[in-house]
Structure 1
Amino acid sequence: MTFDLFVTAFVTIFLVIDPIGLLPFYIALTSDHTKIERRGIALRSTGISLVVLLLFAFAGDQILQGIGIGMPAFRIAGGVLLFMTAVDMLFEKRAERRGNQTEASDRPDPSVFPLATPLIAGPGSIAAVILLAGDGTDRVEALSITLGALFLVLALVLALFFLAGPVERLLGKVGINVVTRLLGMLLAALAVQFVVDGMHGLGVI
């Protein structure tokens, strides 16, 4: 029974976070960084998302209720932020900023936003860990299974981020530009879906 619950938790978190789908976003968002900087971004983004998801796994309901924020509003906010990133990717705003930056310290660091949140620790993954950690009558068992599945999924995310270099070399500069535009469109659609889901949760639509 415990193994079945672990498989359920792992599959749920894996599908929500989607480590394979995150890789192209990571490549696009870190294309102007060095290999060492990329590794740092990978470590920071997964580490920060782990802290955020652990926090919500242990006290998610209390946190949102305590500050008067419902999950629908959280989804809408995440959607708006993601849409802003999508616009940057579609209209080369990031490329324009890169052209005006000469120091490595001036480059935007995507590890916190949008990688750690809302792409990894977004409304979907936060809702998933809150629900999984509170599932069933045995709170300790449910929390332990959820945390084990979460650690495994984030380890896969980190491993795939470390493989970004070979994947990027395979695609080439033109391929990366094409993928960035396509992902910008997909990210915009995902952002709109977050907003729609949030509005549906609020009963607006």
Structure 2
Amino acid sequence: MDGTLSYALLVFTSFFTLINPLGTMPIFMTMTKDLDVANRTKTARKATIVAFFTIVAFAFSGQLLFSFFGISVNSFRVVGGIIFFLMGMDMLQARLARVKVQDEEVKSYVNDISITPLAIPMICGPGAMTNAIVMMEDADTTIKKVALIAVIAGVMLLTYIILFSSSKIIKLLGETGNTVMMRLMGLIVMVIAVEFFFSGLGPILQGIFPQ
């Protein structure tokens, strides 16, 4: 039982650190600031549900999928870095702030951003996918497998609560505060993107040009 408890604690700390919902919250706030509370809540709920099922799917079949398609985690990091960089550039130039979502486009907008980029690759990124595969391989008993799924669900619930609470923060910041925060977060996202890109590109180049 102690082994299962320590395993569950390891799963929680690793997933919470990799998913980093506190870091995702400012970006979520920026992308949903023109939505009402109901649609913002719907976006957070859908993003966390999609991320949960994606992580669980990778936990059970990720290694098989990677092998079948010949995909490496480093390739995921490179693509994720490119997506983050483009999104960060838009945020830095405050382009997202000038996009007013029309009432008839709200449903489509919520569906789009809740899946990409919020669920994938922000919540369920390369690190979370890889961690799911590794943790499933370490789960040598049925109890540990159940604990893995339960802890992932718990982290997703915590992520949803954090994103849901952003509605109150948006009201406190106001229009100017949101614009300033978006530009600042855009710069941070671009830095993260560069780290993502080169952390994936380095091993790929080493494999192509071995020393």
What is the TM-score with the length of structure 2 in the denominator?
Answer: 0.89
Q: 1:13 to 1:177 in 2, by over 3 A?
A: same
| Structure 2 residue 156 is the aligned partner of structure 1 residue 166 | no
Secondary structure at 2:33 match in 1: coil
When the two structures are aligned, how many residues end up with a matched partner? 202
Equivalent pair of 2:54/2:124 in contact (CA under 8 Å):
yes
Q: 2:78 aligns with which of 76, 79, 83?
A: 76
Aligned to 1:131: 134
RMSD over aligned Cα, in angstroms?
Answer: 1.8
Preserved CA contact (<8 Å) 1:57 1:143: no
Distance 1:186 1:142 in 2: 36
Q: Where does residue 114 of structure 2 map in the other structure?
A: 111
Q: Which moved more, 1:84-93 or 1:47-56?
A: 84-93
- Report how far residue 92 of structure 1 moved: 2.2
How far does residue 141 in structure 1 lie from its aligned partner after superposition? 4.1
**1:145 is matched with which residue?**
147
Q: Between the two proteins, what is the percent identity of the paired residues?
A: 27
Query: AA paired with 1:135?
Result: D
Letter in structure 2 aligned against 1:39: T
Return the alpha-carbon distance in structure 1 between the equivalents of residues 27 and 76 of structure 2.
22
- The match for 1:56 among 51, 55, 58 is 58
Q: How far is 1:119 from its partner?
A: 0.4
Q: Is the 8 A contact 1:64 1:70 kept in 2?
A: yes
Identify unmatched segments of 5+ residues in structure 1.
none
Contact 2:4 2:144 in 1 (8 A): no
Inter-partner Cα distance in structure 2 for 1:143 and 1:67: 25
Which among 101, 121, 124 is matched to residue 124 of structure 2? 121
**Deviating 4+ runs (over 3 angstroms):** 101-104, 106-109, 139-142
The code of the aligned residue for 1:149 comes to V
| Separation of aligned partners in 2, 1:31 and 1:39 | 12
Alpha-carbon distance, 1:4 to partner: 0.8
Distance 1:95 1:19 in 2: 22
Does the CA contact (< 8 Å) of 1:79 and 1:194 recur in 2? yes
Bigger share in helix: 2
Q: Describe the superposition over 1:40-88 as per-residue Cα deviations: whole angstroms up to 9, x where unpaired.
A: 1011101111111111011110011111111111110111111111111
Partner residue, 1:39: 41
